[in-house]
Every structure is written in C-alpha cells, then in structure tokens.
Structure 1
Amino acid sequence: MNKYQIRNSLLLLLTATIWGVAFVAQSVGMDYVGPFTFLCVRSVIGGLVLIPYILLTQRADQAKMTRNRTEEEEKKEKKTLILGGCLCGTALCVASLFQQFGILYTTVGKAGFITAFYIIIVPVAGLLFGRRCGLNVWLGVALAVAGLYFLCITETLYLKQGDVLVFICAIFFSVQIMLVDHFAPKVDCVKMACIQFFVCGILSGVGMFIWEQPAVVDILAAWQPILYAGILSSGVGYTLQIVGQKGLNPTVASLIMSLESVISVLAGLILLRQSLSGRETLGCVLMFAAIVLAQLPRKQAKAEA
C-alpha cells in the first residue's frame, strides 16, 4: 500500500469516527423533528458549508483547467459532475430515509448490524462489474460481519418491518458507495459532495412539506444535533468519504467506514455513559482485525510491485 492509499484510508477512518458520533446526534435530534425535516436541514447545512471552500479554490481550478483542457472537455466534466452529484444525492437521500424510518420500528443495535451489511453487498455488487477481491478481503468481510454481530445483536435476530426498512437502506448505501467509486476519479470531489447534499436536501424537503409539519421552534430546539449532523457528519464526513475513496478498492473502503458501528458504541460509552459489555468488546476487536486484514497486500500485488 502506497502513501496515497494510506492517507485515504486514514481519511475514511476519520469519516467513520464522525459518523459514529453522529448516531448520538441523530438520536437526540429525532426527539424534536421528524425524519424528513432532520435530513433536509442537515443536508442543506452540509451543502452550504462547502460553498466557501469551493469559491476560494475556484479561481485556481479554472486557471488549471484552462491550461490543460479544451472547452469540450470542460463541458463534459461539468455534465459528469452534475450527473454524479444528482445520482449520489438521490441514493444518499433514499438510504438515509430508510434508515431513519427503520430505526423507529426496530432497535438501534439491529439497525446498526443490518445497515453495515453494505460491507457484504459492495464486494458482491463489484463482482458484477468485473472487480475482483483477494482472499484477505473476503476473510475481512467475514470477520467484520462476526464483529458487527457481537457488537450490535443482543437479542434473537428476527426481521420485522423496521429490519426490512434498514436492509433496504443498506442496499442504497451500497449503491451510493459504488457511485462515488465511479464518479470521484472523474470530477472535483468537493463540488460533487456539495451537489449531492443539495439534491438530498431538496428531495427530503419535498417529503418534509408533504408528510410533516416543520416548525422553526422545533428546528431551533434541535440546533446542536442538527449542526453536528449538518456540518461534521454531512459537510465534512461525506466529503472525506468522496476524497478518501479515490484509489481505494470500494470493498476496503466500505470495511473502513463500517467502523462507524464501533465508534458509535464508544460514543455511547463516553457521551451517554453506556456500559461496554464483554460481547461488545469482542465485536470491536473483530472489527479492527477485519480492517487490518483487508488492508494487507495480495501476493500478486507484491509480485507486480
């Protein structure tokens, strides 16, 4: 693994940390507003946070593009940027809403376990597009699933309405990860993230006005969790995801990001003073082992190097 891949892996680890702590913010925020309202406001904030950075770097980017690219290439990249942002934003919106509604009908532990099934869905979906994974990656997936089971499942596993909703959420999160893997190398990552958030905010905003009754008082009452979810989880977290996935196998990326389940347990331990059982500790150990195993280079890669 080269320095570039190590840096991106660390960015995804930071992303998982931010998302793990966001489970606390998400849980608290839902005490004041509905799923559509929470997702709409946090997504719009996430997009707004990125605008200053885009404006500051736009001149340098334009000068670079003028020197190295033709006008047709610039138009093509803009179309790819808009398409990628819209597709990723739609997938993110659908996944987040299914997760939000699913949590209302199932336990948080089961929701976390089922959501993390994207670490299985991503490599399986990758096979359909000709991607191959080494044995170490598949062993890492198996370890991660076992770790998530010990970490999250504390009662008999059976599917209810909420479980089905969260499983659909995992499918769409897998779609979002694959879309990011496809578009990120072709466009400006921060701009695509910005478009993604505004698309997600618009789509969830439509649902907010149709099925909910948003009140400014309720939104202001939940300002702390909303700002954390909007600025850090959305604006910073998903942008780091897009940047960090560049040059990484999407299966490895999904394994690293699945550490948000471990971080969420630690966040509950520290912020909510929840106890960590021996079973949950074993789950954390298995999850970290899965990440390390998935990062090990294959023999073929060593030979080529």
Structure 2
Amino acid sequence: MNRIQANLLLVVIALIWGSAFVAQSQAMAHIGPMMFTGLRFLIGALVVLPFAAAEWRRQSAKGHALTRRDLAKIGGLGGLLLLGAAMQQIGIINTTVTNAGFLTALYVPLVPVLGYLLLRQLPHWSVWPGALACLVGAFLLSGARTLQIGVGDLWVMTSALPWAIHVLLVGRFADRMAAPFAVALGQFLVCGLVALAWGLMFEPANREAVRAAAWPLVYTGVMSVGVAFTAQVVAQRYAHAADAAIILSSETLFAAGFGFVLMGDRLNSSGLAGCALIFVSMVAVQVLPSLNTMRSNWNAPRER
C-alpha cells in the first residue's frame, strides 16, 4: 500500500466514524455509555477474529509469533482506546452529535506535538498550520458562539489526549509487529471486556434495553470498530501519524453532515467556518508535501 492509498483509506475510515456519532447518540437512550462501549468493541472483536487467527497461524509458521512485550503493547493500545471511547461516549450524552464530532478533532494538534516531544518525529511544516486550523475549527463550533463549554463538551475534549496517543502509536506498533489484525483484535478485547465489566457493575441494564439498542450496537460494532478501527491499524503502517490525524479529523465534517440529515442538527456561520478550516487543512496537508516532489519530477531532464 502506498501513501496515497493509505490516505484514501483514512478518508473512508473518517466517513464511517462520522456516521457512527448518530448511532452512538441514539444508543444512549437505552443503555449506559460503558455498557455500549464494551458491547460494540466486543462485536468488533468478533468481526476481526477470523482474520487475526489466520494471521497468527502465518506468523507462527514463519517463527514470528508475538512476544509478551508485544502483547503488553497491544494491551496498552487497548487501554488508550478504552479511555478515549469511554470519555467520548459519556460526553455524547450531554452534547450534540455535531459538537461531539468537532470537539473530538482536538486530538489533531496534539499528535504532532506529542510526536515531537515523545518520539522526536518532526513532520512536514504544513502539519502545524493544518493542526492549528483544526483546533480553531473546533473552537468556532462550540466555543466562539457562546463562550461556554458544557459538561458533555468537556468529556469529549478530554478524550482527545488518549485518542492522540493512540493515533501516534498504533501504526508504529502494528508495523513493527507486522500483525495489524492481531493488534486490532487485542486492543478491541481489552477495551471491550473492561468497559463491559464496568457497565455491568455500575450501570443499569437489562435484555430489553440491549435489544432496543441493537441497531446502534451492530452498526458501530461492525462498521466503526470491526471495519474502521482495523483499517486504521492497516493504513497507519503507511501514513505519518500527524498526517493521519488531520485526515481522520474529517470525521467531524461527516458527523456534521449526518447530524444535519438524520438528527436535525444545524450549523451557524461560525460552525460552517470551522468546517471549512478543517476541510482546507485536510487537503493542504496532502497536497503541500507533494509539491516539492512534483516540482522535482517536472524539472528533471527527460530522455529523448
């Protein structure tokens, strides 16, 4: 997979995640956030299980079985996934789909900052204004209108930190292990089992409530977790973490679109300006790094 293919796959992932905000919001009318998080990630684990099993057999046959250290890293990714997903889901209870989608984008500027501080990765210069544009876009949607941030907004904003660290590390770990499906399965199981245990202990639930939330659970479990999160692990083996963060932030555009069509959410002029900033930054971070390469190819002497 080359860089362009990986980036296109990341756009598809963002589309799926953006659509999932509606289902996540609807599920909260029936079951608690931790119960929902646990069940949907376990459904996602079932989706990826056959692929992980086949991958495990191939790796074992080549003598490349995962070590305990690898399993510990996968467990850490699962913990980050749990923190991000749980805080985001709790926040969705008390905010709109559109706000949740845009505020989730706050992880975007954190990725290049943490990448430099923790891993000494210096991204292309276009990432810095692009990340800042995403941050301003999120602020325009929720902060600039009222200068007030609700409790739900704070939960979603806090989820940005574990999301950022997860985006920074997931491709790095999967590439070193050469086992993207095993990485996906392991992190889903850790996240799903811990969240479900928490939900069973502290949240009211019964069969009727779970049955009423069946459609959001199936959609987010299969598509958002099983397909999109697994595809993220694959795509980020070939995409720079900072670039991936900006592309994945387009989920906020899709969340706003689905919220408008399916739930009646509306954007005012500042919200639309925020959409435009995130979209422009997403395009710029793809085009600008390629300009030097295109210019060099254009100026290179051609054989006659």
Residue 131 of structure 1, aligned match among 103, 110, 121: 121
Amino acid in the other structure paired with 2:25 = S
Amino acid in the other structure paired with 1:178 = L
* Contact 1:109–1:153 (CA under 8 A) maintained in structure 2: no
Residue 289 of structure 2, aligned match among 269, 272, 297: 297
Amino acid in the other structure paired with 1:287 = I
Q: How big is each residue's C-alpha offset from its partner over 1:247-304, in whole Å with a ceiling of 9 and x where there is no partner? A: 2221110111111110001112233354555544433332221011112217777799
* Aligned equivalents of 1:159, 1:153: Cα separation in 2: 7
* Aligned equivalents of 1:220, 1:205: Cα separation in 2: 16
Residue 103 of structure 2, aligned match among 102, 110, 114: 114
Structure 1 pair 181–54 and aligned structure 2 pair: CA distance change class (3 A): closer
Cross-structure match for 2:80: 91
Structure 1 pair 112–153 and aligned structure 2 pair: CA distance change class (3 A): farther
* Aligned equivalents of 1:110, 1:273: Cα separation in 2: 13
Structure 1's unaligned 5+ residue stretches are 66-70
Bigger drift between 131-140 and 195-204 goes to 131-140
Structure 1 pair 303–84 and aligned structure 2 pair: CA distance change class (3 A): farther
- Displacement of 1:97: 1.3
Residue 146 of structure 1, aligned match among 115, 136, 150: 136
- Displacement of 1:114: 3.2
- Displacement of 1:183: 0.5
* Contact 2:28–2:93 (CA under 8 A) maintained in structure 1: no
* Aligned equivalents of 2:58, 2:180: Cα separation in 1: 15
Residue 213 of structure 2, aligned match among 222, 246, 269: 222
- Displacement of 1:212: 1.2
* Contact 2:33–2:86 (CA under 8 A) maintained in structure 1: yes
* Aligned equivalents of 2:266, 2:99: Cα separation in 1: 18
Q: How big is each residue's C-alpha offset from its partner over 1:129-161, in whole Å with a ceiling of 9 and x where there is no partner? A: 211122211121122223333445573233454
TM-score normalised by L of structure 2: 0.87
* Contact 1:113–1:153 (CA under 8 A) maintained in structure 2: no
Cross-structure match for 1:16: 14
Amino acid in the other structure paired with 1:130 = R
Cross-structure match for 1:177: 167
* Aligned equivalents of 1:298, 1:50: Cα separation in 2: 34
Bigger drift between 256-265 and 106-115 goes to 106-115
Q: Quick check: 1:193 aligned with 2:191?
A: no
Amino acid in the other structure paired with 1:229 = T
State the Cα RMSD in Å.
2.5
* Aligned equivalents of 1:87, 1:191: Cα separation in 2: 14
Q: Secondary structure at the match of 2:89?
A: helix
Cross-structure match for 2:300: none
- Displacement of 1:198: 0.7
* Aligned equivalents of 2:278, 2:102: Cα separation in 1: 12
Amino acid in the other structure paired with 1:191 = A
- Displacement of 1:107: 4.8
Amino acid in the other structure paired with 1:124 = V
Amino acid in the other structure paired with 1:32 = H
* Contact 2:97–2:256 (CA under 8 A) maintained in structure 1: no
* Contact 2:18–2:258 (CA under 8 A) maintained in structure 1: yes
Q: Secondary structure at the match of 1:214?
A: coil
* Contact 1:109–1:154 (CA under 8 A) maintained in structure 2: no
- Displacement of 1:231: 0.5
* Aligned equivalents of 2:196, 2:143: Cα separation in 1: 33
TM-score normalised by L of structure 1: 0.87
* Contact 1:13–1:259 (CA under 8 A) maintained in structure 2: yes
Count of aligned pairs between the two proteins: 294
- Displacement of 1:227: 0.3
Q: How big is each residue's C-alpha offset from its partner over 1:81-136, in whole Å with a ceiling of 9 and x where there is no partner? A: 41232111111111111122223344555444432111111111111121112221
* Contact 1:91–1:172 (CA under 8 A) maintained in structure 2: yes
* Contact 2:35–2:195 (CA under 8 A) maintained in structure 1: yes
* Contact 1:110–1:153 (CA under 8 A) maintained in structure 2: no
* Aligned equivalents of 2:101, 2:55: Cα separation in 1: 37
Cross-structure match for 2:301: none
* Contact 2:106–2:134 (CA under 8 A) maintained in structure 1: no
Structure 2's unaligned 5+ residue stretches are 298-304
